[in-house]
Structure 1
């Protein structure tokens, strides 16, 4: 789960915090609800929290390396990259 928002006069800056990794969506949602009551977090909308699901024990990105400047070099779909 991450918490992110932009700030500055013209939204010049991004702030991203990785808050935790949870084994279930329910645990992540419970953690989000706890964080949402804390100073700083309570001043921002709930949609600043992002809960993502990941498949473990599989490569996620950069399976063909990376380049400068960075851009997406793996054109394979998820189904092609990780056939079941």
Structure 2
């Protein structure tokens, strides 16, 4: 199966998903963020992926009713040095 190119932009309380070749973007609200064992999980208010999709770049996808985006947590040394 061909992997589609998708960009995921995380903003303040929202996530925008844009698929290459489409002029539509899907906007979803972030219901909550959880960190477990160094993995960041964003809980969205809607389904933004299809059943056959498992990955959007660095984000792993899961969920049947709403999408859960997860990725390894990046070190934020710059934020802690302020």
- Point out the structure with the larger helix share: 1
Query: Which has the higher Rg, Structure 1 or Structure 2?
Result: 1
- Point out the structure with the larger strand share: 2
